[in-house]
Chain A
């Protein structure tokens, strides 16, 4: 197995892990706010999840940038077109910006988690979807619809689970 394949594998692993971690971030957040208090124990577990997410973001960004700068886009086998690549990098940008805004409490909680979860799932899907070659605008539209659906879904979960 050569370095190129190893880096692609690492990228795929990190994206899969981060998408899973964002699911747990949401799950533990809801579990934590059910009694309206996030105690020290809950904070510890959520801390582990956010740590994994941050490490994943760094590894993904560094891996992909290095790969494309060193070997060029044509060698990057995870995507078929430049438009899909730019869409994925846009998602990474949204994820990072959203994480910063949430960290400084500048992002409303009805939007932040949905944007984070939706973006990670969109990134994972755009990475592993077989032969994805849609135009950027189409991908953007699907993504926007997905985020709105995530907002609605999380609102429903909050209503059913927290009775709020």
Chain B
């Protein structure tokens, strides 16, 4: 169950980052494929949410008691002290940002006609993607410290 939770956390996180990337790519095109954009943003939001839940389950049930002490006592205590703490805190608002992007994609006319609005949503999407990517890479660093 715990292994499944960890695997799902990673897979869902990957899907979320990939979908965020797709949303950024679609917003950069001259003409917006609004259906694809909505699907991408919606998938990203849902996947971030589910990754959050599975990661949270793993953290509360196992990581906190069994993995964290190993990391803190090992050669790379900063992997928890810095990287994991950053992951935890960024994830407080990342799904919210992803939801905002998704909401914006439900206004295709405004995205097509209002360039300021489109640029703002593009910037927000880029932030979501970059943060998601940073969290994914942070996960590799945390996992690598478990020895």
Direct A–B contact present (CB less than 8 angstroms): no
